[in-house]
Structure 1
């Protein structure tokens, strides 16, 4: 964007040094870049939210799972103790 601002600044000072076609291509390209950048920012924000939700759910599931594993290990230990 800084380069485009500089382009705009120089274009207003030095008129008619670039062709209309080049000017049009540049402006259309910048508009498309700005559009893509906004989409990128939106998707990045969505990814960050998804990542937070994933980590939260992972911790929740692990907590329940590890509690169950401890109970099962205790039961296995009791069963093995009784056999000996």
Structure 2
């Protein structure tokens, strides 16, 4: 699974912040359509990035729950197998064929 590069996102966010800062202080403005398109895309990128972070966190919790459940189940299976093998050995010792 390919993730989103947090460093790359921070670089883009910083570049956008710089664009906003320069745009506010500049005498000649960008065309409104260019600026609003850029701003809209940055907002969508922010939303996707935060959604990705949320899903990664949720996935991490799921992985931890899976690992705990797997270890518990493995332990139960091994315990049951040992008990059954022990019973088979006792039965063979009592009733040899």
Q: Does the alignment reach a TM-score above 0.5? A: yes
Partner residue, 1:9: 21
> Pairwise mapping of residues 17-56 of structure 1 onto structure 2 (< 5 A)?
17-56=29-68
Structure 1 segments (4+ residues) deviating >2 Å: 12-18, 75-84
Aligned-residue RMSD, C-alpha? 1.8
CA distance in 2, matches of 1:76, 1:9: 78
Partner residue, 2:5: none
Larger fraction in helix: 1
CA distance in 1, matches of 2:50, 2:14: 16
- Measured after TM superposition, the shift of residue 42 of structure 1 is 1.1
- Segments of 5+ residues of structure 2 without an aligned counterpart are 1-12
CA distance in 1, matches of 2:55, 2:26: 39
- Segments of 5+ residues of structure 1 without an aligned counterpart are none
Equivalent pairs, count: 84
TM-score (norm 1): 0.83
Change (3 A) 1:65 1:73: same
- Measured after TM superposition, the shift of residue 80 of structure 1 is 4.2
CA distance in 2, matches of 1:28, 1:15: 23
